[in-house]
Amino acid sequence: PGMSITSYNGGAVVAMAGKNCVAVACDKRYGMQYQTVATDKNKVFKMHDRLYIGLAGLASDQATFHEKLKFRLAMYNLREERDIKPASFGKLVSTLLYEKRFGPYFIEPVIAGLDKDNNPYLFASDFIGAPLLPDMETNGFVTAGTCTDQLYGMCESMWRPDMEPEELFETISQCLLGALERDCLSGWGATVHVICPDKVITRTLRGRMD
């Protein structure tokens, strides 16, 4: 009782921009309020080689929304015969959420991608699709989930512009792990994806298992 439906399953997602690379990370806990049900829940999904989306919030709506996105992207690829641009995908996500604003999906999306010139693209929104596009010069990161305050503080103090992929990985990992330790609804390890122009580096982090 009294708990927000968006924090019922717990979870945290963060994305961060570097120099011609971008990273997105999530924790692995799947819970029902304060009870932990599973410790291998993936919240970040690949849309194409240079575009990933993380979904924080209610697990059932994450699954529903992910299936809907896969369908819309398949239709886009058939019609356009190319991969969707990150900025267009941001608009698509925003529109899909807003059209259900009177009975919304209880999720907060975080998008990380590289455009055709390898510039990082970050996007976050609330559950009716109001977009947040961060200023890459001063705040090259976006957060979502049950420990956004902690994550935002960590990112604000540790992020800096033009990080190379390895430094970006270290930074986003430390930010996420530091925030997870201050939140009992998320944690149990993490998954980090670093998207580079020629490859995607995926690593699993061990966190506190309590």
Sheet holding 22-27, edge to edge: 141-145, 12-17, 22-27, 190-195, 200-205
Per-residue pLDDT of the chain (210 residues; tens, 9 = 90+): 578 999 999 999 999 999 999 999 999 999 999 999 999 999 999 999 999 999 999 999 999 999 999 999 999 999 999 999 999 999 999 999 999 999 999 999 999 999 999 999 999 999 999 999 999 999 999 999 999 999 999 999 999 999 999 999 999 999 999 999 999 999 999 999 999 999 999 999 999 888
Q: Tell me, what's the pLDDT at 209?
A: 84
Looking at the chain, the whole-number percentage of residues with pLDDT higher than 90 is 97
Other beta carbons within 10 angstroms of residue 85's beta carbon come to 15
Distances (CA, A) of 66 to 50, 70, 96, 123: 17, 6, 11, 16
Strand spans (E) along 28-179 = 30-32, 35-38, 44-48, 51-57, 107-114, 120-125, 131-132, 141-145
Q: Tell me, what's the pLDDT at 20?
A: 97
Q: Tell me, what's the pLDDT at 1?
A: 58
Q: For 113-152, what is each residue's pLDDT tens digit?
A: 999 999 999 999 999 999 999 999 999 999 999 999 999 9
The pTM score is 0.95
Q: For 43-61, what is each residue's pLDDT tens digit?
A: 999 999 999 999 999 999 9
